[in-house]
Amino acid sequence: MMRSARVMEDFYAARVWNEQKRFGVANVRQNFPLSDVKMFSQRRTTTSPKGFRRNEPPFVKKRSSFRRSFSSSLKKSGDDGFSPGAEPWDPSKNDGELDPIRNEVLLRIVQSEISDEEVNKLVWRCLGYEMTIELDPETLTATETWRVSNKVFPNWAKRFPEPPDVIGVTRKYYPEIDQPVKEACASLTRSVSSEYKNGLKEQLKPLGWKGFKMEGLTPNMTRRAQAANWLVYYRSELRGVPIEELKRRRELRRLKEIEEGEEKKPTGGSAQSVV
């Protein structure tokens, strides 16, 4: 009778252990009585099921232990725990061209030295939209057409199958006109990871730009800065990285957010990613 009880105990312990491995500690505590979880967290001296060592606790990992093991797995992905980021722009691999979104270009954006239309096109190109030029055979007039392609980031393409205006080229801020622009710019801004929220100011400070002052700030100035900040994030983390690798990194970030209780943050999280 005693041997049968031990066999059942070990079988139940194995169930707790497997549930923990599959669904995490929280779900184990939900699916099994707390008294049972505590019992199998104690040091045991009975014959253990196959794959378990004698006299070794626990069958359920402590939260701190889970955090250490999870953090260790993240560090294998890169120095920052998630990824090594994107490779720096190499002119030798791009026909000698300078980086089209280098700091000097970003400075021209925030100083309004580049037109609204050109800022839009710069953002569209980085998002993955493609431009084609159509020639009218009668008037010989060339027309630029931007359309979605398989290079557009997946989450962004779902929301914006056509390249959206993120600046507001009409500069008319009536709700019926500006609402789509406002939504597109907000989506772009929310997709920037939290650690890059001040990325633009950090990059342009050596060039003498310290940010805008509240006095005299306009929607156009704000959106230019937001677009330029996204470009900083893009070139640092997204540019040239395969989509599948970006999805893997996003999943790692999502797991870390769950661990830290930040999975519902409204901006800068994995849920707002363009990937």
Condensed to tens digits (0 to 9), the pLDDT of residues 196-244 reads 999 999 999 999 999 999 999 999 999 999 999 999 999 999 999 999 9
Give me the pLDDT at residue 184, please. 98
Q: How many CB atoms lie within 10 A of CB 137?
A: 6
Mean pLDDT of 13-25: 49
DSSP string, 18-48: HHHHHH-HHHHHHHS-HHHHHHHHS---SPP
Task: Decide which of 40 and 181 is more confident.
Answer: 181
Give me the pLDDT at residue 139, please. 84
pLDDT at 39 over 70: no
CA distances from 30 to 19, 25, 34, 35, 37 (A): 11, 9, 8, 12, 10
CATH class of 91-272: mainly alpha
Mean pLDDT of 88-103: 95
Give me the pLDDT at residue 84, please. 64
* pTM for the whole structure: 0.71
DSSP string, 218-250: -HHHHHHHHHHHHHHHIIIIITT--HHHHHHHH
What is the per-residue pLDDT across 107-121, written as a single tens digit (0 to 9) for each? Answer: 999 999 999 999 999
Lowest mean pLDDT among 22-26, 118-122, 145-149, 262-266: 22-26
Per the DSSP assignment, residues forming a β-bridge with 132 are 145
What is the per-residue pLDDT across 45-85, written as a single tens digit (0 to 9) for each? Answer: 334 444 444 444 443 333 333 344 334 444 444 444 445 68
Task: Decide which of 139 and 146 is more confident.
Answer: 146
Mean pLDDT of 125-145: 90
Q: Which amino acid is at 38?
A: K
Burial class (CB in 10 A: 0-12, 13-18, 19+), 183: middle
pLDDT at 24 over 70: no
Give me the pLDDT at residue 140, please. 81
Domain ranges of the chain: 2-61, 91-272
DSSP H helices in the chain: 2-23, 25-31, 34-41, 63-75, 103-110, 116-127, 154-159, 175-190, 199-204, 219-233, 243-259
